[in-house]
Amino acid sequence: MKTAYRVLLEGLTVMAVLAWTAVPAAGAEPGAAVAPAPLSAANPPPVTRLITLGTQGGPRINSTRAQPANVLIVRGTPYLIDAGNGVGRQLALAKVPITRIGRIFITHNHDDHNADWGALMGIAWSLGRKEPIHVYGPRGTESMLLGFLQYFAPNVANRTFHSAGATPPASVFFAHDIQQDGPVYQDENIQVTALENCHYHYLPGDPGHGWQKSYALRIQTPDKLVVFSGDTGECGKQLTEFVRGASILVHEVVSLPAIERRIRSDRSTSYSDAQMAELMTHMREEHTTPEDIGRLATAAGVGQVVLSHLAPGSDELPDSAYGDGVRQFYSGPVTVAQDLMEFR
């Protein structure tokens, strides 16, 4: 089903002749999500635009929400935050050419967040991009690039046999493991800082123990501070301080009763009581409820909350199932994001 907002985006060409101003997206709080207005001298382009490309939480594929990804466009330069499956298509729908993506930031290495950054780089290369594309992510990102170059090699052989001198992908694709909390990247538009959040609780002996990291990302632009929670459980004071003063907090959200109902009704998998208990512990401790997001947003004094990475997501629940709990503890604007909403 097309969202009202997507219809609005697709109608832009027709609407460009009309001098309409920012309009709240369907279902959004006034002043939160806005439709892009035609640009003119009286209406200069916004410095910072955030588009939620994919708002589904977890690896489920469905027809209503794409896998997690966001694009932050600062003075016309797009930066990608997470790259779930289908991100190239979502960028096209947002009217952002994938050949313009030069910087990608990955919050953590669950495949709903990292599945397509290699594919995205590869397609940009196949379309002729020669300028470097850099991806920054937790440990494992650099080794993933080595694997992707191998995966991509047959395509390279196909596309370059008649054009000696084509830029080799290894001269275009670059990966950087984030080694620790703190500054990750800076250019003339953005300053990116990472903080390990509370998504992982590996025990000694677990394969991920001691090296898997999940990060929240804080991105300062010339006029906005945008914080992405990444996937995280309730994380206490450290995350509150990291989020403090955010103009926009993009936070993951889980409805615990709904996710439990969904897992129990999933006919393709049957869990024992012990497995079910373990899964719900993961949902409770490694994801965040609406109420905890509301408390965090108030404690950190954020300007607005954008709920994305919805679990169970799809369109199983009304927006109120995610938003009302936030509003109990936070009085600012709260938007339950759909794919392709824009915030500025």
Listed ranges 126-134, 186-194, 226-234, 257-265: which one lies at the site for Zn ion (CB under 5 A):
226-234
- The first and second tokens of residue 107, run together, are 């919050």
Min CB(11)–Zn ion separation in Å:
31
Q: Which is nearer to Zn ion, 84 or 332 (CB)?
A: 84
- The first and second tokens of residue 335, run together, are 């938007």
Does 213 help bind Zn ion (rule: CB under 5 A)? no
SS3 117: helix
Does 231 help bind Zn ion (rule: CB under 5 A)? yes
Q: Which is nearer to Zn ion, 140 or 169 (CB)?
A: 140
Does 224 help bind Zn ion (rule: CB under 5 A)? no
Binding mask 60-99 for Zn ion (x = CB under 5 A): ----------------------------------------
Q: Which is nearer to Zn ion, 112 or 342 (CB)?
A: 112
Min CB(109)–Zn ion separation in Å:
8
Q: Which of 36, 81, 112, 292 binds Zn ion (CB under 5 A)?
A: 112
Please give the Cα distance from 327 to 329 (Å, whole number). 5
Listed ranges 1-9, 88-96, 116-124, 224-232: which one lies at the site for Zn ion (CB under 5 A):
224-232
- Which ranges constitute the DSSP H helices of the chain? 4-10, 12-15, 87-93, 111-114, 117-126, 141-160, 236-243, 256-265, 273-286, 290-300, 320-327
> What do you get for the CA distance between the two ends of the chain, in Å?
25
Please give the Cα distance from 222 to 78 (Å, whole number). 14
- The first and second tokens of residue 95, run together, are 């009217």
Listed ranges 105-113, 121-129, 140-148, 176-184: which one lies at the site for Zn ion (CB under 5 A):
105-113
Report the interface residues with Zn ion, using CB under 5 A: 110, 112, 231
